[in-house]
């Protein structure tokens, strides 16, 4: 585990983060995906073919509102940042982390669409109750074998756990399993398997069909067509929250404030022209730009 969690020598962040904007737009129950800077992060990203290696659940100031010894410890440890907390499963176990910890990471904010307040309260209660649970390293190993191509992993080594991956020990989870279990307990979908009848309309499996007006007015709820099957949360990867049709992507850095205007961007090339050093670095062998640069040298 020490080897896997060692930081990488190089970490590239595609975009800057506006922490103040993130604090304005994030809500309790949101899932924060991050691109970690550890060896295990790179492995997870490669196996799942995505940018994301870790997931956290935002609980905000919920700990402070409830008071007690834990709230005082968070105030002492994080100060004002204790009002912006995440719950996550780390190798040290399920713990709390301030939102500012991820200010310098590549992150994405995913929001469960129209989740009910009562369901959100249950999720927050059970997430806080999970603090102190153990980290399930076996789940990580099984998940790696599950995602590796079948031709690389002999059948006898592939996980065959019909009831889920990992050790299946009580109170033992990884980051995505923890969050998947929390949403699953209130029946909120992440990335379920859907089987549709032959006559189902297009998009029915996404839950996008609105009931008739009278049923909406009188509160009669028509079930979505098809059979929805929960995937065991131990099979979930961080990317599943990103690609889930039931989670919104909140572009907090620029777009969420609603005042972005591309015409206000001051492009360096507009004043100075293309950067010759960048052109020389990007030129392919035999490229005219490279040839010209060589001739000048």
60 or 51, which is more confident: 60
pLDDT, mean over the chain: 84
Q: How confident is the model at residue 6 (pLDDT cuts 50, 70, 90)?
A: confident
281 or 225, which is more confident: 225
pLDDT of residue 47: 83
143 or 239, which is more confident: 239
pLDDT of residue 1: 74
Q: How confident is the model at residue 197 (pLDDT cuts 50, 70, 90)?
A: confident
pLDDT surpassing 60 at residue 216: no
59 sits in which H/E element: strand 54-60
Question: Where are the chain's structural domains?
Answer: 19-192+230-262, 266-297
Stretch 148-158: mean pLDDT: 67
Domain 19-192+230-262 has CATH 3.30.200.20: no
82 or 151, which is more confident: 82
138 or 12, which is more confident: 138
pLDDT surpassing 90 at residue 180: yes
Q: What tokens were used for 252?
A: 């907090």
Place of tokens 């102190």: 132
- Percent of the chain's residues with pLDDT above 70: 79
Q: How confident is the model at residue 295 (pLDDT cuts 50, 70, 90)?
A: very low
pLDDT surpassing 50 at residue 293: no
pLDDT surpassing 80 at residue 87: yes
Q: How far apart are CA 35 and CA 4, in angstroms?
A: 15
DSSP state of 220: P
pLDDT surpassing 90 at residue 48: no
Strands (E), 161-291: 172-173, 193-195, 227-229, 247-250
pLDDT of residue 127: 97
Q: How confident is the model at residue 49 (pLDDT cuts 50, 70, 90)?
A: confident
- Per-residue model confidence as pLDDT tens digits over 256-279: 888 889 999 988 887 766 565 555
C-alpha count within 13 angstroms, C-beta hemisphere, residue 230: 16
pLDDT surpassing 60 at residue 236: yes
Stretch 59-73: mean pLDDT: 96
pLDDT surpassing 70 at residue 142: yes
pLDDT of residue 279: 58
The contacts found for 13-17 with CB under 8 angstroms, 24 or more apart, are 13/104, 13/105, 13/106, 14/106, 15/106, 15/253, 16/253, 17/102, 17/103, 17/104, 17/105, 17/107, 17/253
């Amino acid at each position: 585990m020490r080897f896997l969690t060692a930081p990488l020598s190089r970490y590239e962040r595609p975009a800057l983060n506006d922490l103040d904007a993130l604090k304005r737009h994030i809500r309790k129950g949101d899932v924060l995906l991050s691109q970690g800077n550890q060896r295990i992060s790179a492995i997870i990203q490669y196996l799942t073919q995505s940018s994301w290696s870790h997931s956290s659940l935002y609980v905000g100031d919920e700990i402070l509102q409830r008071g007690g010894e834990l709230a005082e410890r968070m105030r002492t440890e994080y100060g004002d940042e204790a009002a912006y907390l995440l719950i996550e499963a780390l190798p040290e176990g399920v713990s709390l982390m301030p939102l500012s910890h991820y200010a310098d990471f590549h992150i994405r904010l995913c929001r469960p669409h129209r989740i009910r307040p009562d369901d959100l309260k249950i999720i927050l209660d059970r997430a806080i109750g999970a603090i102190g649970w153990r980290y399930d390293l076996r789940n990580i190993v099984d998940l790696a074998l599950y995602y590796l191509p079948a031709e690389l992993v002999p059948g006898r080594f592939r996980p065959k756990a019909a009831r889920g991956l990992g050790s299946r020990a009580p109170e033992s989870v990884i980051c995505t399993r923890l969050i998947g279990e929390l949403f699953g307990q209130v029946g909120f979908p992440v990335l379920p398997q859907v089987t549709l009848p032959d006559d189902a309309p297009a998009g029915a499996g996404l839950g996008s069909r609105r009931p008739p007006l009278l049923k909406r007015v009188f509160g009669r709820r028509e079930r979505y067509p098809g059979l929805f099957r929960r995937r065991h949360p131990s099979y979930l990867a961080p990317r599943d929250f990103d690609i889930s049709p039931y989670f919104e992507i909140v572009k907090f850095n620029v777009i969420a404030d609603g005042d972005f205007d591309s015409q206000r961007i001051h492009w360096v090339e507009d004043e100075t022209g293309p950067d010759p050093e960048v052109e020389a670095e990007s030129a392919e062998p035999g490229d005219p730009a490279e040839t010209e640069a060589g001739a000048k040298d």
